[in-house]
Each structure stands twice: as structure tokens, then as C-alpha cells.
């Protein structure tokens, strides 16, 4: 008869607990936020920024975004339990108690602000604290359950990493930073609305008025197209304002054209599906994933462009 050593059991339990706390920070969202932070530092520097500063900003940004995510899970634990997409979150499963999650969120918020003060500057710390406040209070507590425009205005919180990256290098803000801020702002609805289409039933069951649950597929698809066009147009504004070169210019046009194609494709398929009497929206997640790839590639071009002479 085999037995499991107490040390092994404790080790396994500790590993599960660590993974649960990591899950509270929404690591996949965190990766996307950092994609919009580091490249901006290259642009603000006009070349290769100080790598120690980049590391410090990444650490601070991770702590800040993780704090916002943990607050969000604490506040949304009632609806998370009734949604397929969120039913396995650690507070819902009981792996982490609501009280401990709240303590964890506050700890990350305080540590991230202090970290930015110590390693960067006051402006960066203030922007980080504002981002947490906006995501937790404005989006999660006020907008999310009250208006179908929740992700439009609540998405502003996800734009702050752009300003944080710029401020960490320059200790100030510039028009180029605000254009990139607007780019992420306009990109957020066509990125998230396809996800809300896929999980429309979940949002409807929990009375969360996401656009994908309150409007039909054709209406949502049209909104996605309009915001996608605005996103691409905004990305092109950076060329004259920041003096972007060939790499960024070509990337913005090519990847933007692809993003527009996928957005129009979703709308066309939705209209055809409705005409055939099918109430479903075919393949919304294709646009969701395409939007992530688009933003990543555009910001990679933002980082590469200042390093090249053309």
C-alpha cells in the first residue's frame, strides 16, 4: 500500500494555491497590456531604452494590472459563478476566499504604486493608480452592469499602459502617446464585442448588458466595422505626428487592411446567416483572435521603427 509523503502533499497544495493567485491577475490579459507598454518606450526614447527601466516598468505594470484584475474578480464573483467563461475562476471555485482576494488586490495596488515611485517617477505612479481606479470603479462598479457601452468607456483603463510606458521614459506625455492611447481605445470594442457575441447567453443570463447580448449579430457586426475603421485611421495618424518610417507605415497599412477584412467578413457572414433564417453569428472568435494579432504586430512595428534609419 503506497502513501503520499506529507511534504509532497504540502508542496502540491502550495503549487495549486500559487497558480490560483496567478489566475487572479488574468495573465492572458496581462500579456496584452505589456505588448502595448514596452514598444512605446522604444518610441519615446527614439531608440533602445534603458533595459533596467524597461524591466522595472514591466514589473510595475504587471503588479498594477494584476491588482485591477483581482479587484474585478472580487467584485464580479456573483456573476462569474453563472458564466461558462468564468465559472472556474479561483474565487468561484473556492480556492481563494473573497477576503483573501481583496487583500491580495489591495497589496498589489499599493506595491505597484510604490514600485513605480521608487523605480520611475511620480507621473508613472499616478497613471498606474488611475488605471486601477478606472478599471475597478468606473468600469466594474459603475458601467459594466448598467450600459451596453460599458466596454467602450470602461476600455479606457486598458489604454493606460501606453501612457505609463511613455511617462516612464520621458517623465512627460506627448501627442504620439495620446494617439496610441486613442488607438487602443478604438481597438477595444471590436476586440471584445466578438467575445460578447460568443458568450451572449452568459451575459443575458446574468443581466450584464454587453452589446453582443443586447443587439443582433448584424448590428454588432456593423459596430465592429465602424470601430475597426476608426482604429486603422488612428494608427495612420502616428505616421506624420511621430515621424514614423517605412516599417511602421507599411505595417499599419497591411495589418490594418487585414483587420478590416476580418471585420467585414464577420459582418457579411452574419447578414447571410440572418437572411437564411439562422439566428447565430458565425465565427466571431476569428475576429477576436485577429484583433489580438493585429495590435501585437502594430506595436512590434512601433518598437522596431525607431531602431532603423528609414
Same domain, 179 and 301: yes
Taking 3-state DSSP, the helix, strand and coil percentages for the chain, each rounded to the nearest 5, stand at 80, 0, 20
Q: Residue 79 falls within a domain, yes or no?
A: yes
* Domain final position from 116, 148, 173: 173
Per-residue confidence at 271, pLDDT binned at 50, 70, 90? confident
Per-residue pLDDT tens over the stretch 193-228: 998 888 888 888 888 898 888 888 888 999 999 999
Q: Residue 99 falls within a domain, yes or no?
A: yes
Q: Residue 6 falls within a domain, yes or no?
A: no
Can you give the pLDDT at residue 85?
A: 85
Show the cell assigned to 156. Answer: 479606457
Can you give the pLDDT at residue 206?
A: 87
The number of folded domains in the chain is 2
Show the cell assigned to 219. Answer: 448590428
Q: DSSP alpha helices (H): ranges in 134-174?
A: 150-154, 160-170
Mean pLDDT, residues 278-304: 88
Same domain, 116 and 88: yes
Instruction: Report the mean per-residue pLDDT for the chain.
Output: 91
Can you give the pLDDT at residue 166?
A: 98
Same domain, 157 and 189: no
Can you give the pLDDT at residue 1?
A: 44
Spatial separation of the C-alpha atoms in residues 271 and 268, rounded to whole Å: 5
Can you give the pLDDT at residue 32?
A: 79
Mean pLDDT, residues 56-76: 96
Q: Residue 40 falls within a domain, yes or no?
A: yes
Q: Are 61 and 35 in contact (CB under 8 A)?
A: no
Q: Residue 11 falls within a domain, yes or no?
A: no
- For residue 203, give the CATH number of its domain: 1.20.120
Q: Residue 12 falls within a domain, yes or no?
A: no
Domain that holds residue 272: 174-310
Place of cell 458565425: 282
* Residue 251, number of CB atoms within 10 A of its CB: 21
Instruction: Read off φ and ψ for residue 206, nearest 5 degrees.
Output: -105, 10
Q: Are 221 and 266 in contact (CB under 8 A)?
A: yes
The more confident residue out of 21 and 213 is: 21
Same domain, 104 and 234: no
* Domain final position from 125, 155, 173: 173
Show the cell assigned to 175. Answer: 501627442
Determine which of 58-72, 147-161, 241-255, 270-284 has the lowest per-residue pLDDT on average: 270-284
Residue 243: is its pLDDT beyond 80? yes
Residue 275: is its pLDDT beyond 70? no
Same domain, 205 and 309: yes
Same domain, 125 and 216: no
Q: Are 304 and 243 in contact (CB under 8 A)?
A: no
Q: Residue 34 falls within a domain, yes or no?
A: yes
Same domain, 165 and 183: no
Same domain, 216 and 254: yes
Can you give the pLDDT at residue 154?
A: 86
Can you give the pLDDT at residue 2?
A: 45
Determine which of 33-37, 115-119, 121-125, 232-236 has the lowest per-residue pLDDT on average: 33-37
Same domain, 156 and 246: no
Instruction: Read off φ and ψ for residue 278, nearest 5 degrees.
Output: -95, 120
* Domain final position from 138, 153, 173: 173
- For residue 46, give the CATH number of its domain: 1.10.357.140
Same domain, 135 and 47: yes
Mean pLDDT, residues 128-141: 96
Mean pLDDT, residues 28-52: 91
Same domain, 156 and 287: no
* Residue 83, number of CB atoms within 10 A of its CB: 18
Same domain, 297 and 200: yes
Spatial separation of the C-alpha atoms in residues 241 and 237, rounded to whole Å: 6
Mean pLDDT, residues 80-97: 92
Q: Residue 193 falls within a domain, yes or no?
A: yes
Amino acid at each position: 500500500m503506497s502513501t503520499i509523503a506529507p511534504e509532497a502533499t504540502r508542496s502540491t497544495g502550495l503549487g495549486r494555491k500559487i497558480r490560483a493567485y496567478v489566475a487572479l491577475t488574468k495573465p492572458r490579459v496581462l500579456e496584452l497590456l505589456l505588448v502595448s507598454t514596452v514598444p512605446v518606450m522604444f518610441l519615446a526614447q527614439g531608440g533602445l531604452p534603458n533595459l533596467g527601466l524597461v524591466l522595472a516598468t514591466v514589473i510595475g505594470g504587471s503588479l498594477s494590472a494584476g491588482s485591477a484584475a483581482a479587484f474585478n474578480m472580487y467584485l464580479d464573483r456573483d456573476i462569474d459563478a453563472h458564466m461558462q467563461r468564468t465559472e472556474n475562476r479561483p474565487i468561484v471555485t473556492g480556492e481563494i476566499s473573497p477576503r483573501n482576494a481583496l487583500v491580495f488586490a489591495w497589496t498589489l495596488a499599493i506595491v505597484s504604486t510604490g514600485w513605480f515611485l521608487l523605480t520611475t517617477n511620480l507621473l508613472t505612479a499616478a497613471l498606474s493608480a488611475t488605471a486601477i481606479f478606472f478599471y475597478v470603479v468606473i468600469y466594474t462598479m459603475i458601467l459594466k452592469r448598467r450600459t451596453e457601452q460599458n466596454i467602450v468607456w470602461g476600455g479606457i483603463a486598458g489604454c493606460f499602459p501606453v501612457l505609463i510606458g511613455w511617462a516612464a521614459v520621458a517623465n512627460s506625455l506627448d501627442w504620439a502617446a495620446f494617439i496610441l492611447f486613442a488607438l487602443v481605445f478604438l481597438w477595444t470594442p471590436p476586440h471584445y464585442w466578438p467575445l460578447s457575441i460568443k458568450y451572449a447567453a452568459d451575459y443575458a443570463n446574468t443581466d450584464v448588458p454587453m452589446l453582443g447580448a443586447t443587439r443582433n449579430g448584424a448590428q454588432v457586426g456593423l459596430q465592429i466595422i465602424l470601430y475597426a475603421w476608426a482604429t486603422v485611421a488612428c494608427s495612420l495618424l502616428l505616421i506624420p505626428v511621430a515621424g514614423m518610417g517605412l516599417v511602421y507605415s507599411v505595417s499599419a497599412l497591411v495589418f490594418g487592411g487585414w483587420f478590416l477584412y476580418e471585420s467585414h467578413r464577420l459582418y457579411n457572414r452574419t447578414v447571410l446567416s440572418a437572411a437564411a433564417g439562422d439566428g447565430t453569428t458565425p465565427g466571431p472568435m476569428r475576429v477576436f483572435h485577429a484583433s489580438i494579432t493585429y495590435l501585437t504586430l502594430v506595436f512590434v512595428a512601433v518598437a522596431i521603427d525607431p531602431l532603423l534609419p528609414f
